[in-house]
């Protein structure tokens, strides 16, 4: 027969069952563990029982630790409960069903022995009956169910007879009228005011309620309890930051000698309990993040400190006990009991939890499933399996548990019971209960859910082996993705990466689950944990991949500030500073745009923009301080991060500003560009406004002030206002600054020669075209359409259409003429130079400039801009400057791309021009004329700097580009990578390469791959790396170029061990790709045979066989052959081949000359070396010599100790106008050869 204990008891009191230790469940009774032992307690006695299991309201020593007390309870509250016992003459009736369960310990133990001797049977109480009961539907069960219902009705009558309840106990908090008997007399004015407040309150205009209340109270009106209730509820709904803002309202009521009503207490307790629960959750999360990543931002530290000092739950309980003492018959809405029990459970206050529960039951209210779940969690966390079991048993026989419509809640409670057993370490109890449920239930998905609870328990206990075994038994179709992510997160935090990764890889990212925010947040949490793990273990590549998934994945909630800072710190620690700044900038934009939950239950559930800016500022300041302590903070990095803070948050603290300024001595300040100076001025001005100004602060600002005036900042600009304010602050210590500012203001307000003639605002607003009658709109439209389809239209067609139009005494639109000029300047501009001049000459006749017409201003601006670009393409910089000057006189400036053309066409000026320095000057001029840079302009200046190997400057402009929110293009990355490989910076080059490949708008190009391949051939000599980049090209469907194949041949032929068969096989690959085999490919093979394998005869044979393959001998092939001869000390044979070159009309190149000069130098034949050197000159002797040629010849003279000859060569080089860094290399050779004085 199935044993069914206590089926005759209808409604047991959960609190009393726990306190007095009545029967255990069948499951617990079937185990011989401490969890199945019942303490034989008598009601009202405390001997031999733990404090928390004594009667909750049994007297002064009941075990309740009231807020602010020493744990012995409050005397006044004790008196209240003593009085309660005296006033209620139906005590025996109230606890009638409690007394029914007080059986003897001997009988209890005897029944346990009987149960242990029987085979386990399904739990009858867990049957799937459609009745309100959980008892199995057999005859005996049906009889017991009826008896249970009858006793429940009888018990309810007893309770109703014993307790005078309030008229209504509603779950929702409503500002209700004050209880009868407590309402003091209110004036008519107060009543009228209350009606007004109530109207605003009902409309959700809570802020207006608070403002109006404070205003009226300030005028001396007396408020009543209803007034305060409306005000209090409005304050709560606005989401106060500090609980004191709410507690103070209660204090004000007491000061006014007003007695708080149940509504008042309900509002206060609800707010404080919810606040305590939320604070506990936030504190747990903050501590977990700190353990996980080792990072806790300053604002988060402050928040955690505030939470720990808040004591919201203490206040809530104090008010609860105060309210219970004030009115014996007072009962709260169920919602209040629920949030208070949840808060107590969350914070481990089990004694107070029982007191609240007892008070609720005292007034005839039963625990809801949510309350039961909270209590089960609390007992599990406390490791109290006895209380856990009895809480569950008590709930099983309540009306709520017998309600079949709450099947989901029922299984949630099962889950909490299993979880509590697991967390407490009582694994047999958990598994036995699960087994019983499985035996009687056909809810497949819910049973799988309970198994998942077991797995979670094993993970919590650290029993990973058991967790894995149970995981194998789960139905894969019943596992949710958010559960996988949650368990994976816990495993990662425990360092169990292998099992965690298995679960993470099982997550289906295409699932519709991720439309749910909870699932997205669960996945994001998992990815954050993985990222933190990889960072802790210095696995930066895996960290990059995980960050990419977290930041870019559509199915994830995205990164949070803490993990972003952790990743950025890791990148800096691994030397990837540029990537770190990019990540920091990307996250900043993402964070400001994202909808970030604020974790509070207020009318606005998302962080405001101001709140997000404060968080970002905290991030930036943390990074500056961290990098400073780590010795990684350079001036450029500091300025970048400070720039982020000002652009995103418009602020930076004084302490952090000083850290940045300490990195900028006077010499460094003088090297700043306008944008950097603007930022540094902001920082220094912020310091000046503080109370502690040092002499160094004043001197630095004075230096910045002088530099700013040279940049010509407008007086009315933000920078101008900072300069004026700073000069006024320092007026006493440095009066000259203020005087200089006044002179500067006067000068800047005086019109210059570049300003357009004054035009009235009315005149400048004329919109029509004064020459519209002359315009051939149809032809203009036709040409615009032709040029929009193709930029390389036949210029002959455009000429014909243009001249035909003018023959009819009409003309084309100015914007169309600008497009024609742009088209004509492409390809072969010299053939169209006259046509270009013809267009602008006729335009000045047909449509003279009139500044008051908007159409003409726009048209002439585009036309002259096109002319500047065309003249640059033609190499006529003087004419370009003239048209540029015309634009300035009109009040216009060329576009940024035109300034880029200024830089691109620098090569045509003079062969020895310092192009890099001139490029920087052009860029600075563009900025000074108010031009907003474009990617093309940045690429142009970076390209020139890269060619000059000025890598630091390249990095500066690259950083400036990104700080200006201009996305680098694949050309930018290619140029930067090329520059870095030239100076051997492998780490940074690879860092930028990875960044390039990961950017959203990446357009694959071969050039960056070629740069990296060449770097690993010439510098690192690592064939595996070469092939790795080559394969990456192929994987991205990037077609190798002719240069790629040439490098591939060199990789096979020159790197250890040479593989000539593979090198020659590359020629077949070139044929198959459709690319023409070029001389450079054969030159690579010739060089390899002669210089690497030292088989000169094979090299010569290959050279001579090239014409048979359809390749004409050129300087590239001769260079390879001559290098072979020199490398094998056969320079004496070179004149024959040099003569052969001359016979074929192939000119000597600087690179061939360098090889020959080096060869003859080895033979100590300076005359032959000089002869080769002279072949690169013409009448002036300077045309084709390059810096390397001068260096080779200087070394030749020094090798034969001819210092005078070396000086002559060096002096000639100095006259060529090369950059100082280039000339210094040769001058150092001469200087070091000087004899040392004795």
Q: Using CA of residue 125, residue 131, residue 136, residue 142, what is the dihedral sign?
A: positive
- For 912-923, write each residue's pLDDT tens digit: 457 888 899 899
Q: What burial letters (b/e) apply to 7-36, b meaning 16+ CB within 10 Å?
A: bebbbbbbbbbbbbbbbbbbbbbbbeeebb
Cβ(570)–Cβ(536) under 8 Å?
no
In whole angstroms, give the CA distance from residue 1143 to residue 1156.
Answer: 18
Q: Tell me the two tokens of residue 321.
A: 């006990």
How many degrees, rounded to 5, is the angle at CA 323 between CA 322 and CA 327? Answer: 115
The closest of 969, 976, 1026 to 1001, measured between CA atoms, is 969
What's the rounded Cα separation, in Å, for the pair 961 and 944?
15
Residue 676, token pair as written in the block: 């950097």
Q: What residues have CB less than 8 Å from 298, skipping those under 6 apart?
A: 618, 621, 622
DSSP 1030-1078: HHHHHHTTPPP-HHHHHHHHHHHHHSSSP-HHHHHHHHHHHHHHTPPP-
Report the alpha-carbon distance of residue 560 to residue 607 in Å, rounded.
13
- What was the pLDDT predicted at 555? 87
DSSP 166-181: -S---SS---PPPPTT
Of 145, 169, 210, 114, nearest to 8 by C-alpha is 145
| Whole-number pLDDT of residue 790 | 66
Rg of the chain, C-alpha, whole Å: 43
Instruction: Give Cβ neighbours of residue 563 (< 8 Å, ≥ 6 apart).
Output: 289, 293, 528, 531, 532, 550
Question: Which uninterrupted H or E stretch holds 208?
Answer: helix 206-218
- Output the pLDDT for position 1140: 93
Residue 752 burial by Cβ neighbours in a 10 Å radius (0-12, 13-18, 19+): exposed
b/e for 486-501, b at 16 or more Cβ within 10 A? bbbbbbbeeebbebbe
Rounded to 10 degrees, the C-alpha dihedral 1136/1137/1140/1144 comes to -170
CB 664 within 8 A of CB 677: no
Average pLDDT, the chain: 79
Taking alpha carbons only, the member of 712, 720, 717, 659 closest to residue 684 is 659
Q: What is the pLDDT of residue 373?
A: 93
Two tokens, residue 696? 């160094």
Question: Using CA atoms, how far apart are residues 373 and 338, in angstroms rounded to an integer?
Answer: 11
Tell me the three-class secondary structure of 844-871, residue by residue.
Answer: HHHCCCCCCEHHHHHHHHHHHHHHHHHH
Q: Which pair of structure tokens corresponds to residue 299?
A: 């604002």
Contact in structure between 426 and 434 (CB atoms under 8 Å): no
Amino acid 20: pLDDT = 47
* Euclidean distance between CA atoms 1086 and 1181, whole angstroms: 32
Q: What is the pLDDT of residue 219?
A: 82
1175: phi > 0 → left, psi -120 to 50 → alpha, else beta; which?
alpha
Rounded Cα gap, residues 614 and 533, in angstroms: 28
- DSSP-derived secondary structure for 932-983: PP-HHHHHHHHHHHHHTT-HHHHHHHHHHHHHTT----HHHHHHHHHHHHHT
How many CB atoms are located within 10 Å of the residue 519 CB? 23
- Given a contact cutoff of 8 angstroms between Cβ atoms, the answer to whether 1026 and 1051 are in contact is yes
Interacting residues of 828 by C-beta distance below 8 A, sequence separation 6+: none
Q: What is the reported pTM?
A: 0.53
Query: Minimal CA–CA distance to 69: which of 317, 279, 355?
Result: 317
d(CA 460, CA 381): 12
Cα separation of 1000 and 1007, whole Å?
19
Q: Taking the domains of the chain in order of start, what are their residue ranges? A: 14-162, 674-746, 774-893, 895-959, 1148-1238
Helix (H, G, I), strand (E, B) or coil at 1162: helix
Cβ 457 vs Cβ 415: under 8 Å: no
Asked whether 256 and 264 are in contact (CB, 8 A), the reply is no
The rounded distance, in Å, linking the Cα atoms of 1191 and 1194 is 5
**Alpha-carbon separation of residue 89 from 83, 161, 163, 706 (angstroms):** 11, 11, 11, 93
Give the pLDDT confidence of 1160-1213 residue by residue, as tens digits: 999 999 999 999 999 887 644 445 788 889 999 999 999 998 999 999 999 888
Quote the distance between the C-alpha of residue 275 and its chain's center: 29
Burial classification of residue 761, based on how many CB atoms lie within 10 Å of its CB (0-12 exposed, 13-18 middle, 19 or more buried): exposed
Q: Do residues 467 and 458 make contact, with C-beta atoms less than 8 angstroms apart? A: yes
Q: Which residues contact 788 (CB under 8 A, 6 or more apart)?
A: none
Residue segments in the chain with a per-residue pLDDT below the cut of 50? 1-12, 20-172, 177-178, 180-183, 601-603, 751-764, 908-912, 1179-1182, 1236-1238
CA angle 474, 475, 481 (to 5 degrees): 90
Q: Is the peptide bond before 1057 cis (omega within 30 degrees of 0)?
A: yes
CA distances in angstroms from 656 to 294, 296, 662, 1222, listed in the order given: 21, 17, 10, 40
Report yes or no: 33 and 428 within 8 Å, Cβ to Cβ: yes
Q: What are 69's two structure tokens? A: 């007390």
Whether the CB-CB separation of 6 and 101 falls below 8 Å is answered with: yes
Secondary-structure class of domain 1148-1238 per CATH = mainly alpha
Cα(846)–Cα(850) distance, integer angstroms: 12
Cα–Cα nearest to 981, from 953, 1009, 944 = 1009
Phi, psi of 1026 (to 5 degrees): -60, -50
Q: Are the C-beta atoms of 173 and 267 separated by less than 8 Å?
A: yes
- Asked whether 469 and 432 are in contact (CB, 8 A), the reply is no
What is the spatial distance between Cα 33 and Cα 54, in angstroms, rounded to a whole number? 22
């Amino acid at each position: 027969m199935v044993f069914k204990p206590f089926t005759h008891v209808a409604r047991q009191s959960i609190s009393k069952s726990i306190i007095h230790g009545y029967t255990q469940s069948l499951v617990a009774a079937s185990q011989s563990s401490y969890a199945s032992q019942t303490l034989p307690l008598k009601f009202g006695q405390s001997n031999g029982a733990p404090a928390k299991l004594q009667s909750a309201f049994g007297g002064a020593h009941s075990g309740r630790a009231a807020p602010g007390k020493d744990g012995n309870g409050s005397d006044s509250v004790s008196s209240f409960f003593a009085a309660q016992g005296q006033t209620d003459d139906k005590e025996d009736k109230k606890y009638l069903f409690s007394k029914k369960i007080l059986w003897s310990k001997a009988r209890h133990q005897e029944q346990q022995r009987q149960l242990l001797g029987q085979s386990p049977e399904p739990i009858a109480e867990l049957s799937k009956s459609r009745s309100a009961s959980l008892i199995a539907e057999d005859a005996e069960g049906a009889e017991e169910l009826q008896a249970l219902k009858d006793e429940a009705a009888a018990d309810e009558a007893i309770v109703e007879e014993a307790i005078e309840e309030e008229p209504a106990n509603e779950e929702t908090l409503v500002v209700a009228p004050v209880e009868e008997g407590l309402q003091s007399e209110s004036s008519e004015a107060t009543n009228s005011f209350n009606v007004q407040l109530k109207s605003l309150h009902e409309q959700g205009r809570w802020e207006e309620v608070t403002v109006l209340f404070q205003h009226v109270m300030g005028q001396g009106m007396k408020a009543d309890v209803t007034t305060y209730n409306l005000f209090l509820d409005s304050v709560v709904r606005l989401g106060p930051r500090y609980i004191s803002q709410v507690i103070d309202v209660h204090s004000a009521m007491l000061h006014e000698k007003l007695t708080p009503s149940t509504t008042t207490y309900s509002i206060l307790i609800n707010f404080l309990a919810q606040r305590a629960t939320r604070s506990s959750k936030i504190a747990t999360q903050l501590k977990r993040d700190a353990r996980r990543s080792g990072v806790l931002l300053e604002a988060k530290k402050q928040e955690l400190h505030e939470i720990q000092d808040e004591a919201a739950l203490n206040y809530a309980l104090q008010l609860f006990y105060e309210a219970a003492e004030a009115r014996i018959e007072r009962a709260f809405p169920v919602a209040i009991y629920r949030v208070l029990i949840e808060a107590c459970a969350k914070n481990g206050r089990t004694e107070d939890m029982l007191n609240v529960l007892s008070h609720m039951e005292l007034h005839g209210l039963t625990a809801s499933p949510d309350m039961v779940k909270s209590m089960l969690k609390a007992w599990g966390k406390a490791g109290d399996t006895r209380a856990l079991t009895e809480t569950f048993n008590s709930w099983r026989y309540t009306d709520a548990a017998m309600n079949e419509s709450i099947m989901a809640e029922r299984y949630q409670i099962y889950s909490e019971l299993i979880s509590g057993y697991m967390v407490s370490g009582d694994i047999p109890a958990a598994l036995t209960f699960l087994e019983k449920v499985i035996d009687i239930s056909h809810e497949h998905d819910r049973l799988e859910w309970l198994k998942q609870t077991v797995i979670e328990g094993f993970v919590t206990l650290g029993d990973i082996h058991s967790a894995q075994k149970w995981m194998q038994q789960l139905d894969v179709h019943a596992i949710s993705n958010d559960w996988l992510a949650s368990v994976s997160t816990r495993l990662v935090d425990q360092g169990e990466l292998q099992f965690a990764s298995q679960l993470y890889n099982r997550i289906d990212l295409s699932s519709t689950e991720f439309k749910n925010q909870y699932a997205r947040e669960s996945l994001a949490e998992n990815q954050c944990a993985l990222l933190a793990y990889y960072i802790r273990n210095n696995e930066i590549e895996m960290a990059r991949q995980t960050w990419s998934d977290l930041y870019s994945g559509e199915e994830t909630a995205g990164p949070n500030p803490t993990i972003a800072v952790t990743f950025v710190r890791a990148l800096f620690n691994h030397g990837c500073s540029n990537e770190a700044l990019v990540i920091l900038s990307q996250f900043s934009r993402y964070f400001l745009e994202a909808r970030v939950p604020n974790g509070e239950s207020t009318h606005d559930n998302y962080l405001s923009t101001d709140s997000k800016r404060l968080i970002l500022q905290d991030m930036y300041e943390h990074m500056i301080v961290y990098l400073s302590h780590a010795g990684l903070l350079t001036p450029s990095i500091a300025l970048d991060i400070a720039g982020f803070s000002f652009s995103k948050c418009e602020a930076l603290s004084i302490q952090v500003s000083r850290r940045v300024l300490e990195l900028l001595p006077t010499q460094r300040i003088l090297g700043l560009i306008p944008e950097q100076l603007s930022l540094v001025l902001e920082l220094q001005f912020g310091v000046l406004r503080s109370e502690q100004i040092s002499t160094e602060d004043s001197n630095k600002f004075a230096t910045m002030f002088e530099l700013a005036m040279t940049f010509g900042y407008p007086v009315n600009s933000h920078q101008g206002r900072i300069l004026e304010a700073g000069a006024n602050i320092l007026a006493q210590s440095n009066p000259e600054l203020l005087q200089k500012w006044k002179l500067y203001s006067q000068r800047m307000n005086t019109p210059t020669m570049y300003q357009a003639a004054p035009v009235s605002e009315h005149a400048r607003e004329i919109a029509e075209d004064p020459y519209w009658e002359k315009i051939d709109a149809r032809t203009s439209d036709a040409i615009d359409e032709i040029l929009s389809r193709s930029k390389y239209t036949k210029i002959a067609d455009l000429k014909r259409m243009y001249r035909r139009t003018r023959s009819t005494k009409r003309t084309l639109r100015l914007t169309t003429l600008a497009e024609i000029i742009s088209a004509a300047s492409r390809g072969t501009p010299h053939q169209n130079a006259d046509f270009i001049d013809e267009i602008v000459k006729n335009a000045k006749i047909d449509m003279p400039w009139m500044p008051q017409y908007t159409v003409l201003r726009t048209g002439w601006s585009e036309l002259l801009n096109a002319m500047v670009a065309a003249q640059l393409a033609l190499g006529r910089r003087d004419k370009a400057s003239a048209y540029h000057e015309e634009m300035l006189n009109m009040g216009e400036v060329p576009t940024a791309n035109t300034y880029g053309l200024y830089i691109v066409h620098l090569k045509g000026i003079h062969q020895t021009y310092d192009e890099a320095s001139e490029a920087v000057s052009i860029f600075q001029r563009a900025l000074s004329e108010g031009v907003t840079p474009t990617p093309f302009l940045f690429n142009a200046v970076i390209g020139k700097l890269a060619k000059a190997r000025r890598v630091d400057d390249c990095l500066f402009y690259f950083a400036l580009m990104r700080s200006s929110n201009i996305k680098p293009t694949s050309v930018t990355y290619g140029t930067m990578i090329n520059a870095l490989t030239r100076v051997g910076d492998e780490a940074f080059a690879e860092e930028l390469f990875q960044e390039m490949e990961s950017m959203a708008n990446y357009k694959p190009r071969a050039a960056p791959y070629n740069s990296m391949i060449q770097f690993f051939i010439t510098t690192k000599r690592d064939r595996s790396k070469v092939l790795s980049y080559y394969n990456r090209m192929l994987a991205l469907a990037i077609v190798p170029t002719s240069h790629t194949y040439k490098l591939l041949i060199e990789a096979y032929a020159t790197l250890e061990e040479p593989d000539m068969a593979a090198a020659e096989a590359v020629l077949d690959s070139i044929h198959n790709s459709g690319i023409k085999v070029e001389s450079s490919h054969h030159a690579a093979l010739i060089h390899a045979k002669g210089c690497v394998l030292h088989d000169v005869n094979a090299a010569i044979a290959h050279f001579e066989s090239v014409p048979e393959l359809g390749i004409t001998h050129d300087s590239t092939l001769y260079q390879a052959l001559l290098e072979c001869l020199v490398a094998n000390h056969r320079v004496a044979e070179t004149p024959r081949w040099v003569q052969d070159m001359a016979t074929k009309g192939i000119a000597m190149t600087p690179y061939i000359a360098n090889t020959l000069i080096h060869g003859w130098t080895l033979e100590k034949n300076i005359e032959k070396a000089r002869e080769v050197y002279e072949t690169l000159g013409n009448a002036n002797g300077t045309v084709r010599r390059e810096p390397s040629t001068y260096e080779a010849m200087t070394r030749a003279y020094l090798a034969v100790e001819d210092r005078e000859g070396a000086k002559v060569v060096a002096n000639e080089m100095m006259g060529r106008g090369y950059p100082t860094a280039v000339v210094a290399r040769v001058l150092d050779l001469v200087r070091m050869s000087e004899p040392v004085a004795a």
